[in-house]
């Protein structure tokens, strides 16, 4: 009788699990298993050659009390996230607003603006960026027209972050496409009604567009933050590949990579990975928790 009930509740149990099989194997072998493994390794000293040696919380203790590279890389990564995420999203929203109404050949513009997001992840573009920001590169040539003597962006540790940030902002296209789709969803009669009531463009933006876009902003914000924390290729290629000069390109993921795959300190790298997970989880947690105060769902339901 129990099986009959189960049969009724889950009529496709067997077929469903057949379809889910590859994903389930992946979930256990590539995600859950490795997560437990990484948690275990973070409490060990392990160099791939000899067996992992249990050292308790020593890795974490070193990281938090005696590792200035960790502190520096964390600060640098935060700085990168704080500079690049808001600027990229503001720029994306700005261009999406400009493209939204009455532009002919919208498809062409959408494509052109998207191309940086398409190409930006490659090693080739990171190399181009490095050259553009070189001491006698394009940017300094451009600044020269205005009589500004540009700094050595790549060679000077104080300035290296700006080329990397600008590469990230340059790739605003994917966020823009999402904003554009969001703007298209806003009913035109909202604007018409507010126009009748005498609302200007600025007021319309803050009272209609922005609130109606908050679900999309929410999505873009979460995705951008998660991705930015994990930025690697630009830091590796625009910097010298070892975090230099003077740790100015030592992003968190680069440090993790160097610890794990250059110094083969797999335990330490795992500990760094878990700290990163916690930081990202806290950030997304905060955004989720505050979302009910600022994310507005057009169907009248505030929050989810």
Partner 1 sequence: MLTFRRYSGSGLRHLLIIAIGLAMLYPVLWLLASSFKPNQDIFTDTGLWPSTWTLDNYRNGWRGFQGITFARFFGNSALVSVLAVLGNIITCSFAAYAFARLEFRFKKIWFAMMLVTIMLPYHVTLVPQYIIFSELHWINTYLPLFLPKWLAHDSFFILLMVQFIRGIPKELDESATIDGCSQQKLYFRIIMPLLLPALITTAIFTFIWTWDDFFSQMIYLSDIKLFTVQLGIRALFDPSGTSDWGALMAISVLSLIPITLIFLVFQRYFLDGIATTGLK
Please give the residues from 84 up to 143 whose contact with partner 1 meets the rule CB under 8 A.
95, 98-99, 102-103, 107, 109-116, 118-119, 121-125, 127-132, 134, 136-138, 141
Tokens representing residue 17 in the block: 């699990």
Minimum gap (Å) between residue 256 Cβ and partner 1: 6
Any contact of residue 34 with partner 1 (CB under 8 A)? yes
Which residues in 35-74 contact partner 1 (CB under 8 A)? 35, 37-38, 41, 48
Tell me the HSE value of 268 on the side-chain side, using a 13 A CA sphere: 21
Minimum gap (Å) between residue 150 Cβ and partner 1: 14
- Rank residues 98 and 148 by Cβ distance to partner 1 and give the closer one: 98
- Rank residues 35 and 193 by Cβ distance to partner 1 and give the closer one: 35
Tracing tokens 């160099």 back to the chain, one arrives at 47
- Helix, strand, coil distribution of the chain in percent, nearest 5: 70, 0, 25
Which residues in 154-193 contact partner 1 (CB under 8 A)? 170, 174, 177-178, 180-182, 185
238 φ, ψ (degrees, to nearest 5): -75, -35
Minimum gap (Å) between residue 276 Cβ and partner 1: 6
Note whether 302 and 296 are within 8 A (CB): yes
Minimum gap (Å) between residue 112 Cβ and partner 1: 5
Q: Diameter of the chain by CA atoms?
A: 86
Tokens representing residue 278 in the block: 């916690």
Minimum gap (Å) between residue 201 Cβ and partner 1: 10
Who contacts 88 (Cβ-Cβ below 8 Å, separation ≥6)?
Answer: 168, 169, 171, 172, 175, 224
Which residues in 260-279 contact partner 1 (CB under 8 A)? 260-261, 266, 269-270, 272-274, 276-277
Size of the site for partner 1 (CB under 8 A): 98
- Rank residues 83 and 235 by Cβ distance to partner 1 and give the closer one: 235
Note whether 267 and 279 are within 8 A (CB): no
From candidates 70, 80, 153, 236, binder to partner 1 by CB under 8 A = 236
Q: How far apart are the first and last CA of the chain?
A: 38
As a whole number of angstroms, the distance between CA 140 and CA 134 comes to: 8
């Amino acid at each position: 009788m129990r099986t009959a009930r189960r049969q009724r509740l889950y009529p496709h149990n067997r077929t469903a699990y057949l379809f889910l099989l590859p994903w389930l194997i992946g979930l256990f072998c590539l995600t859950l298993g490795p997560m437990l493994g990484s948690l275990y390794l973070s409490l060990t000293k392990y160099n791939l050659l000899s067996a992992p040696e249990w050292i308790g919380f020593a890795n974490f203790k070193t990281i938090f009390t005696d590792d200035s590279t960790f502190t520096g890389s964390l600060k640098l990564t935060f700085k990168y996230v704080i500079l690049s995420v808001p600027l990229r999203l503001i720029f994306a929203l700005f261009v999406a607003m400009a493209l939204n109404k009455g532009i002919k050949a919208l498809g062409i513009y959408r494509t052109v603006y998207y191309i940086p997001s398409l190409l930006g992840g490659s090693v080739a573009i990171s190399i181009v960026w490095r050259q553009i920001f070189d001491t006698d590169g394009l940017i300094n040539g451009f600044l020269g027209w205005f009589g500004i003597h540009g700094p050595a962006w790549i060679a000077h540790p104080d300035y290296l972050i700006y080329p990397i940030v600008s590469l990230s902002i340059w790739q605003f296209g994917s966020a823009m496409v999402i904003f554009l789709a969001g703007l298209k969803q806003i009913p035109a009669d909202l604007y018409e009604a507010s126009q009748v009531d005498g609302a200007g463009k600025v007021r319309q933006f803050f009272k209609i567009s922005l609130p109606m876009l908050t679900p999309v902003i929410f999505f873009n914000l979460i995705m951008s933050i998660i991705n930015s924390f994990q930025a690697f290729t630009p830091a590796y290629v625009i910097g010298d590949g070892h975090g230099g000069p003077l740790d100015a390109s030592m992003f968190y993921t680069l440090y993790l990579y160097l610890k794990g795959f250059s110094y083969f300190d797999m335990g330490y790298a795992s500990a760094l990975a878990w700290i990163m997970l916690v930081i990202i989880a806290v950030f997304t947690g905060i955004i989720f928790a505050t979302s009910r105060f600022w994310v507005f769902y057009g169907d009248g339901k505030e929050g989810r």
